[in-house]
A = this chain, B = another copy of it.
Amino acid sequence: MNEFNLIRNYFETSSYQRRDVKVGIGDDAAITQIPDGQYLATTTDTLLESVHFLEGSAPNAIAHKSLAVNLSDLAAMGAEPAWINLSLSIPSADELWLSEFSNKIRELTEYFSIQLIGGDTVKGDLAITITAQGFVPPDSILTRSSAKPGDWIFVTGTLGDAAAGLDVLLGKLDVHDLTHKNALVNRHYYPTPRVLAGQTLRRLASSCIDISDGLLQDMQHVLNASSVGAVLNLDQLPISKALGKSIPHLEQALEYACTGGDDYELLFTVPEVHRVSVESAMASYNIPCTCIGQVTGAQGKLELRLNDEAYALSGKQSTGFQHF
């Protein structure tokens, strides 16, 4: 089977169809139309087998994560996702694998009303690169660099579940309760990009980032980009029932919540004047969010507190995911 049939069979119709796509898959480039007065948001992420997902992961989980990490990046900018490009490197044209993978892509494009507009298929070690594009109004871009001293620090959802789920799969963490175990493992396999939350935070949050490398590492990115500091109250960190019940020691649960990667929750800062609006808006969409600290003027400095006392993590992974 050559590349062209491969693409045609699995991906040409593997997508929700949008009216703003003028030329889709099958030509040298896709041609699309941005709404008047909107800016374009673009992000790219590559996922490699054994680095970003476990060898032998289900094709639908790989598809889900590849798309979710990119939509999460758009969400962190407050952008509305529109189109994706998919570059797929696979060892062979395995029809079952391609069918499951492309079915999940189709399902997610329908769920998020986005269109697969192009890509590339090459023969090589399993790797997926997705480029996601979306729109954002010029006055509503959420960056990492505008947090101000005094702003409140929030996160969506719960923290540490995906990392705990990975440890369950790796046999490093033993969880007896099957419901909790499945909940953690599913957070690892099927992260939920906070697309609606990101758009809700437009004009309300002063900065935003998605938590992919762990709370502390991603918080530090915001501090560095904004030239501010932060105090995080670890007792306020949102810990899921699944994680809390599965981990006997508080310190280990905090370790997961602080340094565990792949949660894809949003970490954002909110000026006092917008705090109530943010909490109301998020509540009206049923998006859980929790205030976990406050921005300070101590440039680059991240202070951790537990029950109002200074606290230091003792775990080995305290710096988060290292790419090299």
A251, CB-defined interface residue at 8 Å: no
A61 on the B face (CB < 8 A): no
Segment at the B interface, from A124-132, A240-248, A309-317: A124-132
**Which of B30, B46, B73 is within 8 Å of A41, CB to CB?**
B30
Q: A33-B40, A42-B83 are in contact. Are A125 and B124 (CB under 8 A)?
A: yes
Copies of this chain per assembly: 2
Say yes or no: A131-B44 contact (C-beta < 8 A), given A27-B145, A39-B32.
yes
A27 — which chain B residues lie within 8 A by C-beta? 77, 143-145, 225
Q: Does A29 make an interface contact (CB < 8 A)?
A: yes
Q: Nearest Cβ distance between residue A155 and chain B, in whole angstroms?
A: 15
Whether A89 lies near B143 (C-beta < 8 A) is no
A124, B83: Cβ atoms closer than 8 Å = no
**Within 8 Å CB of A92, what residues of B?**
324
> Within residues 166 to 199 of chain A, which ones have a CB less than 8 A from any CB in chain B?
none
Decide if A307 is an interface residue (CB 8 Å cutoff): no
Contact A23 B122 (CB under 8 A): no
Per-residue CB contact flags for chain A residues 16-31 toward chain B (1 = under 8 Å, else 0) read: 0000001100111111
Across-interface contacts of A281 in B (CB, < 8 A): none
| Interface residue? A34 (CB, 8 A) | yes
**Cross-chain contact A131 with B85 (CB below 8 angstroms):** yes
Contact check, A93 vs B42: say whether CB atoms are below 8 A apart. Answer: no
Given A1-B324, A122-B52, A125-B124, decide whether A40 and B45 contact each other with a Cβ distance below 8 A: no
Given contacts A33-B40, A46-B89, contact A323 B3 (CB under 8 A): yes
The answer to whether B34 and A40 have CB atoms under 8 Å apart is: yes
Interface residues of A in 116-146 (CB under 8 A from B): 117-125, 127, 129, 131-134, 136, 138, 141, 143-145
Q: Known A44-B85, A46-B87; judge A28-B209 contact (CB<8 A).
A: yes
Residues of B within 8 A of A33 (CB): 39-40, 138
Q: Report the nearest B residue to A45, measured CB to CB.
A: B120
Partner of A122, one of B4, B46, B118, B138: B46
Task: Mark A residues whose CB is within 8 Å of B.
Answer: 1-4, 6, 22-23, 26-34, 36, 39-46, 48, 51-52, 72-74, 76-77, 79, 83, 85-87, 89, 92-93, 117-125, 127, 129, 131-134, 136, 138, 141, 143-145, 208-210, 221, 225, 322-324
